[in-house]
Structure 1
Amino acid sequence: MPQKKALIIGAGIAGIATAIRLAVKGFEVVVFEANDYAGGKLTSISKDGYRFDAGPSLFTMPQYVDELFTLAGKNPRDYFNYQKLDVVCQYFYEDGTRLTAYADEQKLANEVADKTDEPATALFKFASNSGRIYRITNHVFLERSLHRLKTYLRVDTLKSILRLLQIDALRTMHQANRSFFKDKRMVQYFDRYATYNGSNPYLAPATLNVIPHLEQHYGAWFTEGGMQAITDSLVKLAESMGVNFNYNSPVQEIIVEGRCAKGLRIKDDVIAGDLVISNMDVWFTYQKLLSKYPQLKPLRILQQERSSSALIFYWGISKQFSQLDLHNIFFSADYEAEFKHIWQEKNIGSDPTIYLNISSKYKSDDAPAGHENWFVMINVPHNTGQDWDMLINEARRNIQQKLSRLLGEDIKSLITSESILDPRSIEGKTSSYQGSLYGNSSNTQFAAFLRHSNRSAKIKNLYFCGGSVHPGGGIPLALLSAKIVADWV
């Protein structure tokens, strides 16, 4: 029997993972990537002696990466290594409070009890609820397709459905967090997790309180070589299995005959295949690659609200700060006002919450001696035509003033190098519609469960992976989308 051929559009992390899984199944796999590099958002940039992870900087659930090597009969440690963080993040509040988020649950509870008005028991109660949501949703809603009948015929699915009210979808994340904590600093601490999938805690369902469990229970990790090492190691594995990567090869069209995907048009050549898997944002997949077939578009899904985007400054800093760690958060004084700016006014407030990542804390050669590489990110609205040049200049000034005040140092005078990533360049480099980082937002009760399926309902042999489809954005969920596609195939 001749070997079947799978064509994958995009070498993002989900596209690479899908390629590996299909190669394990015996497919001939060919990947077409528009850029001259793999990884999509999971790449790096180097400038003026500094190296920065360009996109995702928090690594959780490393078992999903390890699983790909194990499936291929390889030892993950021969390709890829990482270490668990003892401190997940440092939190800075405008009132002067500084919280160290320890990986150890008891130490974190003690820290919260010492620095806030919350007892340690409040944290344990919240953690128990977060773990329960995970156990109900994980094997059913995250690791399997919600669009296959056989998913609902499983005993564990039926058990989860019977416990559906326990996933806390009927109130918002903020409402739930206010019921667990009285101290507004801890409410803000846990509200922040809505931003992990580009949503608004004042609108998104409390089901998203599953996210802290992934970080606290399973831990946060640092990859040797930086986040780029995830991409590099998986590409190396895929190539060792015969996967063929074609860079600088933007796909122009998905060839459809009789409502069946038959191949791709690339540089005016037609490449035939038995399967087509799109790792491109689902919006662009339909609007560009399937533009000849408007009747096949899932209009309701394509019209859903997009997730938030990001504005990132990559700063070379000519000093080292002992009070900072790998991950750092500087909270805004008024969190609700910040989200109103993002979601209602579609702009950036004067006091944004700042995420600061410094990989040179663990990988010293990411910055010159005595310097640090600062990845400075704020959440911003997706691109709807705002004056981004004006917004970027205002944000830069406000961020520098905030960090200078809280760190007691003139940050502007320490910046020796700058690069910028904004919603426009995010869309241009990664084909993420409007620069949204996670596809559609989760700002309604069941939006997270209504994402586009991993297989087309209207075009045979067409599949989808990546952050814009089920189960969602971020490295772990993108990797799970690859697992779902391969299982379905």
Structure 2
Amino acid sequence: MSKSIAVIGSGFSSLAAACYLAQNGNRVEIFEKNDSLGGRARRFKEKGFTFDMGPSWYWMPDVFERFFGDFDKKPSDYYELEKLDPGYQVVFEGGETIEIGDSLDKIYKIFDKEEENGARKLKKFIENARSNYDIAIKDLVYKPGVSPLELVTPKTITKLGEFFSTVDKDVEKEFKSEKLKQILKFPVLFLGAKPSETPSFYNFMNYADFGLGTWHPKGGFHEVIAGMVKLAKSLGVKVNTNANIDKIIVENKTAKALEINGELKSFDVILSGADYHHTETLLEQKHRQYSKAYWDKKVFAPSSLLFYIGFDRKLDNVKHHNLFFDVDFNEHAKDIYTTPKWPEEPLFYANFTSKTDPSTAPEGHENGFFLVPIAPGIEDTEELREEYFNKIMTRFESLTEQKVQKNIIFRKSFCVNDFKEDYNSYKGNAYGMANTLLQTAFLRPKLKSKKVNNLYFTGQLTVPGPGVPPALISGKLVSELIEKN
């Protein structure tokens, strides 16, 4: 039977869920608090530059294909993809670089050059990562996190030990080169948790990286959002911006309506893709599932200090994606997770989409996106932002052997306070909840409220976890739960 369904937020999980629910004949309406769509994947343009505000790594293309395939569409119906070569470069102390090419054969050669038998070791490591990827994508991540039995399949039983070892142990055991170790550990550090606290099973991210490659949607990552919005509207989804949710109305333990910009609107089902913790604050205390103590105990993925920069010249010695690992990897991880504070010497990441996509900057110019992973919930001031801008730009100039600060014609920053203000993000986190053993699958906050009927959740704080592909999957999972009830 057709239901009227409100979807709070317009990020990847919200848009995915809206598409599935509308496809099933429901009347779906999206409410986005900001003036543009996409959640953390918003875009803005300034002085001829185009900036993606959040996600920039297009990994796991098979998940995007599966999503659009569910509607008899293809990603190419909405945006054009280019496989990057190199996928990214890593910059070490002294400006030494390692490029991660667009094929395993190229990457094997790099590993052999850096370490004796490096290719042989990597082949063994990647075969296991590939096996884990197949199990994760086919058996695990498309499960709704309702029961621990979801983790028990003939394939996962053979991998049981990998939930109790860690990515850090596996990499340290196999490789000697510090550079190669950092490259293998980076996907989990930048996307959710310390490698020493991430189950070995999550090394499937290395197969996503090396085996499937790094891609770029022409025009920027927001083109994926634009494609999803187009699909949603074609399915009949109504979209509202500048629509702030003040309250979720509950009667007889059932979600009945939303208070939107001071006005009430009734629905049969309410689904929130907004921050999970924030969504529960829209309920009376008695209807909330999780206490302050619950959230305080959880391990959150990093927040970020971001800079969006327009340069009036082309830059040298940089690729589309660049990781700057010229300082101590483990010390920065400690400053995020162990004793949360601003890092003394931060690792950072920078992308310049204009290197491969001229449409994202004026001719002869470069657009730069700089990211420093930081602990969520720490102090955020303009003075700190300026201090860290100077830190990373001084190192950037030294490592890439060029003076560029005088060529900056546009600069905007975004940090903890902005994540809270724009996304109601708990502690200003950027990526959601970390993928530790005790925060995996059924141990994450639930897709369906345990206290309020017809109230559901989706996104990076629930199943299956942080990242864009998991957000698409989360939208599918919650839509299936709604259809069952």
* Letter aligned with residue 165 of structure 1: L
TM-score by length of 1: 0.93
**1:316 corresponds to which of 306, 310, 315:** 310
C-alpha offsets along residues 48-96 of structure 1, whole Å, 9 cap, x if unaligned? Answer: 2211111100112234334444333445433222122232111111044
Give unpaired runs (5+ residues) of structure 1: none
Aligned residue for 1:188? Answer: 182
1:279/1:128 CA distance change after superposition, 3 Å: same
Q: What is the alpha-carbon distance in structure 2 between the residues aligned to residue 171 and residue 177 of structure 1?
A: 11
TM superposition shift of 1:329: 0.9
Distance 1:242 1:107, change over 3 A: same
Give the AA of the match of 1:430.
Answer: Y
Q: Which amino acid aligns with 2:333?
A: F
Aligned residue type for 1:146: G
CA distance in 1, matches of 2:199, 2:234: 43
Q: Does 1:92 align with 2:91?
A: yes
Does 2:399 match 1:400? no
Give yes or no for the alignment of 1:448 onto 2:447: no
Q: Percent identity?
A: 28
Q: Quick check: 57-66 or 393-402, which moved more? A: 57-66
Question: Taking structure 1 as reference, are residues 158 and 115 closer, same or farther at Cα in structure 2, changes over 3 Å only?
Answer: closer
Distance 2:111 2:313 in 1: 30
1:201 aligns with 2:187: no
Q: Which amino acid aligns with 2:453?
A: K
1:415 Cα deviation (Å)? 1.8
Shift of 1:196: 3.9
Which deviates the most, 314-323 or 240-249?
314-323
Q: Partner of 1:124 in structure 2?
A: 123
Give the secondary structure class of the aligned counterpart of 1:59: coil
Mapped to 2, the partners of 1:361 and 1:389 lie a distance apart of 30
Residue 387 (structure 1) shift: 4.6
Corresponding residue for 2:409? 416
Alignment of 1:240-259 (within 5 A): 240-259=234-253
Question: Is the 1:118–1:183 Cα contact (8 Å) retained in structure 2?
Answer: no
Alignment CA distance shift 1:297-1:337 (3 Å): closer
- Which residue identity does 1:64 align to in structure 2? V
Q: How many residues align?
A: 480
Residue 436 of structure 1: CA displacement?
0.7
Question: Which shows bigger deviation, 300-309 or 356-365?
Answer: 300-309
Partner of 1:350: 344
| 1:163 counterpart (143, 155, 158) | 158
Mind listing any 5+ residue stretches in structure 2 that lack a counterpart? none
CA contact (8 A) 1:263 1:272 kept: yes
Distance 1:63 1:120, change over 3 A: closer
Give, as a single letter, the amino acid of the residue that structure 2 aligns with 1:438.
Y
Q: Distance in 1 between matches of 2:156 and 2:396?
A: 46
Partner of 1:145: 144
How far apart are 1:209 and its partner, in Å? 1.4
**In 2, are the aligned partners of 1:92 and 1:331 still within 8 Å (CA)?**
yes
State the TM-score, normalizing by the size of structure 2. 0.93
Q: Which amino acid aligns with 2:437?
A: Q
> Is 1:475 the equivalent of 2:474?
no
Question: How far 1:380 sits from its partner (Å)?
Answer: 0.7
Classify the secondary structure of the residue corresponding to 1:419: strand
SS of match in other structure, 2:373: strand
Distance 1:163 1:392, change over 3 A: same
